[in-house]
Structure 1
Amino acid sequence: MLSPREQLLGRIRTALAAGPAPAPPVPDWVAPVHPPLPAADLAVTFAENFQRIGGELFYCETLSQLGDKLRTWLAERLPAGQQFYVWEPAMQAQLAAAQVPFQDTETDFRALAAVGLTSCEALVARTGSIVVAPATASGRRLSIYPDQHLVLARPSQVVAEIDDALRQVKARYSDRLPSMLSLTTGPSRTADIEKTLVLGAHGPRRLSVFLLEDDA
């Protein structure tokens, strides 16, 4: 009967005789973590992922259709006595043409801002995220302060990955990047307190995208 010490030394000698252990595989640092998304279906993938995380998406083929859906949305969701704010001139012109009423100034913003409509820099298909920058007339407040945030976007703004969105922002602004970028993934939420999910804790409680065709 071998002693415990001899048994241990025997195992060591056997392991040494077998040669060095095989080296671990070398990671492929270049290959993407996720399989590539089909370029033809990026808008569909964004819509699926955006709705999966609690966002609402409304597809509009024409400006008239956008007007119909926005008026219906506001009639159902805008609280009585509250305001729908739109500060970007291009969108103000579009909504005026579509006959959608809105507040174009900052009058009583803190007291009455229930809904804000902004543009965005990109829509990320992989995560269903929206990239928003304050380099527009909407600034930082209109996408954060109102209880409900609406985004007007185009299918051509959908990109596959977050890094694609950042490259798009870099190409647009060059060396004059916005002071911040907000990557918004679904409505604001937290479950920090007793694991109870609360919407609207740090920002808008509802997030909706109106996707208007590029040729509209």
Structure 2
Amino acid sequence: MSSSRDILLARIRTALAAGPAPPLPVPDWAAPVHPPLPTADLTVTFAENFQRIGGEFFYCESRARFGAALRTWLAERLPPGQQLYVWEPALQQLLAAEDMPFQATEVDFRTQAAAGLTSCEALVARTGSIVVAPATASGRRLSIYPDQHLVLARPSQVVAEISDALRAVQARYGQKMPSMLSLTTGPSRTADIEKTLVLGAHGPRRLSLFLLEDDAENLA
């Protein structure tokens, strides 16, 4: 009967007779991590992923449609006595043209800012994320403090990957990059306590995107 020592030595001899182990495969560091997205359907891919992570998506083919969608949103979701804060001049001009109520200053911001409307830098189709920078008049607070964050964007801002979004920001600002970039992926959420999902833990509880077409009629 073979001893444990004999069995071990036999295994070693068998392994040595087989020759050296084959080399490990070399990773292709240049290959993409994810399969490429369909370029023709980036906007559709973004909309699907954005809604999958809890965002509200509104497609607006004209300024009139945008005004109607926002008016309905305010009627259904803005609490009584609260206001929609809009600090970017281009957005203020667009809302004024559609006769939409908004607060253009910081008056009573801490107590009445239930919602804030901002622009964005890019929309990432892969993750359904929105890239926001504080370089606009909205600053940092308007996309973080209100309970509900509204974003107005254009289809031309949709890019495939986060890296594409960063390149777009670099191309826009050059050497004067914003002090920070926020990659917003769905409403603020956490499940740290007893694995119970809580919305609005560290930022807006609701994230709503209005995608307004790029044609000349819609430009503010």
**Would the TM-score normalized by the shorter structure come out above 0.5?**
yes
Q: How far apart, in 2, do the equivalents of 1:147 and 1:196 lie?
A: 20
Q: Does 1:21 align with 2:13?
A: no
The one-letter code matched in structure 2 to 1:86 is V
The one-letter code matched in structure 1 to 2:80 is A
Provide the residue aligned with 1:81 in structure 2. 81
Q: After superposition, what is the alpha-carbon deviation per residue over 1:125-151, rounded to whole angstroms, capped at 9, x for unaligned? A: 000000000000000000000000000
The one-letter code matched in structure 2 to 1:130 is I
Q: How far apart, in 2, do the equivalents of 1:71 and 1:3 lie?
A: 84
Q: How far apart, in 1, do the equivalents of 2:49 and 2:11 lie?
A: 54
Q: How far apart, in 2, do the equivalents of 1:2 and 1:77 lie?
A: 79
Q: Does 1:147 align with 2:147?
A: yes
Query: How does the TM-score come out when normalised to structure 1?
Result: 0.99
Structure 1: 4+ residue segments shifted above 4 A: none
Q: How far apart, in 2, do the equivalents of 1:4 and 1:83 lie?
A: 80
Query: How does the TM-score come out when normalised to structure 2?
Result: 0.97
Q: After superposition, what is the alpha-carbon deviation per residue over 1:141-165, rounded to whole angstroms, capped at 9, x for unaligned? A: 0000000000000000000000100
| Equivalence map 1:64-103=2 (5 Å) | 64-103=64-103
Q: After superposition, what is the alpha-carbon deviation per residue over 1:32-90, rounded to whole angstroms, capped at 9, x for unaligned? A: 01110011100000000000000000000001110011011001111000010000000
Distance apart, 1:3 and its partner CA: 2.2
Provide the residue aligned with 1:8 in structure 2. 8
Q: Does 1:109 align with 2:109?
A: yes
Task: Give the aligned CA root-mean-square deviation in angstroms.
Answer: 0.7
Q: How far apart, in 2, do the equivalents of 1:132 and 1:54 lie?
A: 18
The one-letter code matched in structure 2 to 1:107 is V
For structure 2, the residue ranges without an aligned partner over 5 or more in a row are none
Provide the residue aligned with 2:127 in structure 1. 127
Q: How far apart, in 2, do the equivalents of 1:25 and 1:11 lie?
A: 26
Query: Quick one: percent identity of the two aligned structures?
Result: 81
Q: How far apart, in 1, do the equivalents of 2:210 and 2:11 lie?
A: 68
